[in-house]
Structure 1
Amino acid sequence: MNGALLPEATRDRFYLPPDAIYLKSHSVGCQPRAAEALLRDKLLVPWRETGEAWPHWLDAIDEWRAALAGLIGVEARDLCPATNVTAGLSRYISALGQATDRRTILLAPSAFPTIGYLASGLAAAGWKTRYLPDDADVRDPANWAAALGDDVALVIAMHVSSNSGALTDMAAVAAAAKAAGARCIADCAQSVGVVPATPAGWGVDAALGTSVKWLCGGPGAAWLWVAPHDRTALDPMERGWWSHEKPFEMDIRDFRYASDARRWWGGTPDVAPFILSTAGIAEIAAIGVDAVRAHNRALQAMLRDALETKTPQWRWPTGAIGGTLCIETGADQSRVAEALDRHRLRADFRGSVMRLSFHAYCNAADVEKTAAALG
């Protein structure tokens, strides 16, 4: 057995579909077994027993901030909860518009569509959207540098592309943005939990992520990290009472931004999603992101060894990739999709690109069954 593979007991930490092989952690991670009890103890019990449970609930959100901070190597005070990636990015841009006269946002056409939808929707406020060429490799910082100019305020780059699995050197992209006088934000939605993500070490100005995928935390628990150098330098226009230094002062004429990332928070916060997210983060931290990554890479290699020579008509990924194996199946797509369904293999497609994700709860037997079904 490959020494990089995790112990079989790792699977017992999660609920797995009883009648299928789940290979869609790029979409939704499987539920940790600890999640239900944590939700009961941190949300429902205080609510039932105290009625006014906000002190308990806010403690739970602080525990979430600390857990995520430990996983990605940042200070908890620089993390702000967000309902989703779109909301976090929107608040960030609402502050950026006051900090610079530049009005161009640079991104790749392979960015998750919500990023482009948000950026293009800001046209009425004077913002412009610029894309890298369709054929540009997002992993090459020279492509980002070539597209930069003195009009670019913000570069948004995916750490791992959801369409191709391409793993971007975020430090190099951030350096190119800085050299051009622009800020850089890393979209880590497809990386945190399976690929080491260290936004503070990359030199990016901000980072976005979600708990719904590799962190196995479910929807509704996204996050915005803002680098310490912008901790108090940026003031979001989108704000609410939880952006206040002291939310319970309740003086409508006196607003003071929180001195940490809570200034990005907005209105009354969700609680349950962040408790569930804490359960997922705890499991990934206990296993270790490096161990998850090694396990993922070993299973990817096993599938590739089993299938690549048998499928010369497919295009397998080249270069650095993240946790999702994205394979261009071309004219075979319908046949492959039928085989996946027939063998109860839970994967999906972007166009004719098949996406397979091996998380900590996948094993060698899953790979063998996948290879047999597709080969």
Structure 2
Amino acid sequence: MSGALLPEATRDRFHLPPDAIYLKSHSVGCQPRDAEALLRDKLLTPWREAGEAWPHWLDAIDEWRVALAGLIGVEARDLCPATNVTAALSRYISALGAATDRRTILLAPSAFPTIGYLASGLAAAGWKTRYLPDDADVRDVANWTAALDGDVALVIAMHVSSNSGALTDIAAGAAAAKAAGARCIADCAQSVGVVPVTPAAWGVDAVLGTSVKWLCGGPGAGWLWVAPHDRTALDPMDRGWWSHANPFEMDIHDFHYAPDARRWWGGTPDVAPFILSTAGINEIAAIGVGAIRAHNQTLQAMLRDALEARTPQWRWPTGAIGGTLCIDTGADQPRVAEALDRHKLRADFRGSILRLSFHGYNSAADVEATARAFA
């Protein structure tokens, strides 16, 4: 299994906490060493030296689109920056009202809460929210198929669940949605950077993502990918001057949607988050998502080998999972939390569920330290 591990030098690409072992890449990834210089060169220097820095800043956002497009195998023109996943989803749904008479949004109760908050908040606009049963395995496409009917407009599926680490077969879910006449959008916030994200191969209609977590790009740089078949077919109601084909035309009576994913953009864009995001994407691309995935799975297996037989009272995950190892520690949770703190292991919990994430900058030594802490 050691052959699947990345070289130790991978750690040198990132700033790691000097006094702790960081196992929370499902929350905020570690800062790339190139991030500070890139922010200075792309944001601060043009601003200082040119005053009117927008041409430079827009070039930086275009570079971000190209970098992310290369990482997930799509065309840059089909990617739109967003402040966060919530904003991206809101703008996407704003276009569906005029595109379909259906009014039901289908998701799983294990979806990230912001998805449910947004969906249920649309009730005043005539939308209904439907959930899979609480005990339904999101990895079994039959559960999604059984919940589909003629009123479902949109299926929202998490590629990787933040609560359990469950890895959903997005392609199967998208096919089921399409067969039922619905669209499918994949939330890849917990997968992109550690699990291959392949929108074109999946056949989904859209993808949501963020640069915080595994992409190591910090907050504020969310994104929306819209499939080419909807490139100009959907017109978001939630729009702004940067959704315009020519934002600087400045005719309040004359609006023309941008001919690509920029139509989802909205108002004046943030710049700094996307420069920082580019630094993260560049590092992940240089290491390789496939290599990070293999490294992650090897470290997960090492920890299971060291602890699973010794902790029969814990519930270890079964089936396909993403980059986060979610272990239900049950009544042991207070003891485990104390051990994490005492041994300076940075992980977290959802209730009694311990969440551990091994990124490319984690090592076999980190696994050994974790195993010793729980001995």
With the length of structure 2 as denominator, give the TM-score of the two structures. Answer: 1.00
2:58 is equivalent to residue 71 of structure 1: no
Partner SS for 2:129: strand
Whole-angstrom CA distance in 1 between matches of 2:135 and 2:331? 21
1:48 maps to: 48
- Output aligned runs, 1:1-375, within 5 Å: 2-375=2-375
Whole-angstrom CA distance in 2 between matches of 1:235 and 1:279? 32
**Residue 352 of structure 1 aligns to which amino acid in structure 2?**
S
Whole-angstrom CA distance in 2 between matches of 1:98 and 1:105? 15
Query: 1:57-84: CA deviations, max 9, x gaps?
Result: 0000000000000000000000000000
Aligned length: 375
**Residue 27 of structure 1 aligns to which amino acid in structure 2?**
S
Whole-angstrom CA distance in 2 between matches of 1:151 and 1:334? 45
Whole-angstrom CA distance in 2 between matches of 1:308 and 1:206? 38
Whole-angstrom CA distance in 1 between matches of 2:163 and 2:179? 28
Partner SS for 2:117: helix
Q: CA RMSD for the aligned pairs? A: 0.5
Partner SS for 2:340: helix
Whole-angstrom CA distance in 1 between matches of 2:200 and 2:69? 11
Partner SS for 1:88: helix
Whole-angstrom CA distance in 1 between matches of 2:96 and 2:371? 48
Query: 1:137-191: CA deviations, max 9, x gaps?
Result: 0001000000000010000000000000000000000000000000000000000
**Residue 7 of structure 2 aligns to which amino acid in structure 1?**
P
Query: 1:182-238: CA deviations, max 9, x gaps?
Result: 000000000000000001110000000000000000000000000000000000000
Moved over 3 A (4+): none
Partner SS for 2:81: strand
Query: Identity, % of aligned pairs?
Result: 89
**Residue 187 of structure 1 aligns to which amino acid in structure 2?**
D
Whole-angstrom CA distance in 2 between matches of 1:337 and 1:182? 43
Whole-angstrom CA distance in 2 between matches of 1:243 and 1:197? 26
Whole-angstrom CA distance in 1 between matches of 2:374 and 2:219? 31
Displacement of 1:108 after TM fit?
A: 0.1
Displacement of 1:103 after TM fit?
A: 0.4
Whole-angstrom CA distance in 2 between matches of 1:125 and 1:371? 51
Whole-angstrom CA distance in 2 between matches of 1:256 and 1:27? 38
Whole-angstrom CA distance in 2 between matches of 1:316 and 1:255? 54
Partner SS for 1:3: helix
Displacement of 1:245 after TM fit?
A: 0.2
Whole-angstrom CA distance in 1 between matches of 2:351 and 2:108? 18
**Residue 283 of structure 1 aligns to which amino acid in structure 2?**
E
**Residue 139 of structure 2 aligns to which amino acid in structure 1?**
R
Whole-angstrom CA distance in 2 between matches of 1:12 and 1:5? 15
With the length of structure 1 as denominator, give the TM-score of the two structures. Answer: 1.00
Partner SS for 1:246: coil
Whole-angstrom CA distance in 1 between matches of 2:329 and 2:225? 37
Whole-angstrom CA distance in 1 between matches of 2:274 and 2:97? 29
Partner SS for 1:317: coil
Partner SS for 2:121: helix
